[in-house]
Copies of this chain bind each other. A is one copy, B any other.
Amino acid sequence: MTLTFERLAVDGQARLGRVSTPQGTISTPVFMPVATQGALKALPPEWAAESGAQALLANAYHLHLKPGEGLVESLGGLHKFMNWPGHIITDSGGYQVFSLPDRQITEEGARFRVGKKGQPELFTPELSMAIQRRLGADIIMAFDECVAYPTPYNYAKQAMERTLRWLERSRQAWQSEGTPEKQALFGIVQGSTFADLRKESALATAALNLPGIAVGGLSVGEGLEVMTEVLGYTMPYLPEDRPRYLMGVGLPEDVLAAVEAGVDMMDCVIPTKYARAGVVFTRVGRMRLDNAEYRKDKFPLDTACGCPACTHYSRAYLHHLFQAGEILGHMLASLHNVRFYMDLMTGAREAIAQGRFAAYKRDFLEVYQRRDKKNKRVG
């Protein structure tokens, strides 16, 4: 198998691990910033690497449309194209396709148009595998059907079952025409918020014995409580000796809850997306940089952070950059937020190694949420 996973320590359900691939190793639990179109938004890859990022998530659907997987392949693959020496995971495009208006789903795949005048396109498990092979990611994802939240039981069941059939087609394409010696395929568990569907999906996905297994269909608006509930009745059916990847999660509190539930890998646009909206994460909670209270604030964004944005600039300067519409504000806030998430995960890994993850999570949230609660009262 091209990807191996070692569990180095277990603390409750939380796991400290190491994913090894031909590209190198990833210390888990890991949070992966998102480079949808083959670029982190407002963040050069060197900055992400210096912040401690080990892996990025790119998207097969977006890169298929622009610039095309053939082009990326002819230029040496995605790592070289985007100058990223770490790991790359590509998502299959399932989530994106099902978010499109007027997409039609058949057993064959998903039909859609890009824009009102776009050519009709048909995404199938086989096409998704071919795209991801040519992009050259280290980990590729099966083509799944991700349903909205909430979804009626019958539709969730139908989509979950189709996802399993598409997983089998994804697996066959990966083995027969892909490069399983270079790329590890992960299956995706679906089933919305229904325990029996999640169980069935998890068991059937696990039975394929793939290098890793993902939980999809969460972080679609269900909230932390429901997410934790779903993880509670899904994780027990996932193999312990495979990395478990929770897709699209989340806020710091979601990330910690997922680690506590035994998740090893996560990705989310939140750190970079919030940064561009002028929201930064700090040990003492979220901070809206356009808030007038920071106008004269000479302190760094987070007094406990060692990132270059915190080392060299004041909150007042960042406030000014956002008031003045300067791109540098997006860059520095993104740099800080990614570093914040990386530090959060470093702390989580250390805590698991020392058997004190529950205390780490509690202590972090107590300080972090004090301010959020205050903000909620004020706002």
Chain A residues within CB distance 8 Å of chain B: 37-44, 46, 62, 66-67, 71, 74-75, 81-83, 295-296, 298, 308, 312-314, 316-317, 319-321, 323-324, 326-332
Contact = CB atoms under 8 A, between A and B. Distances in A.
Contacts of A330: 327
Nearest to A46: B308
B313 A83 contact: yes
Given A66-B323, A66-B324, A314 B75 contact: yes
Given A39-B329, A74-B296, A83-B313, 15 more contacts: A37-B324, A38-B324, A41-B326, A41-B327, A42-B331, A44-B328, A44-B331, A46-B308, A67-B316, A67-B324, A75-B296, A75-B298, A75-B316, A83-B317, A327-B327
B44 A320 contact: no
B38 A320 contact: yes
A311 to B, nearest CB: 9
B39 A326 contact: yes
A71 B324 contact: no
A45 to B, nearest CB: 8
Contact of A71 (B81, B295, B313, B331): B295
Contact of A66 (B312, B313, B320): B320
Contacts of A81: 314, 316-317, 320
A328 B42 contact: yes
Contacts of A42: 327-328, 331
21 contacts: A37-B326, A38-B324, A41-B328, A43-B328, A44-B331, A66-B323, A66-B324, A67-B295, A67-B323, A71-B295, A71-B296, A71-B316, A75-B314, A75-B316, A81-B314, A81-B316, A83-B312, A83-B317, A327-B327, A327-B330, A331-B331
A42 B334 CA distance: 13
A326 B324 CA distance: 20
A43 B328 CA distance: 7
Nearest to A320: B67
Nearest to A335: B44
Contacts of A40: 328
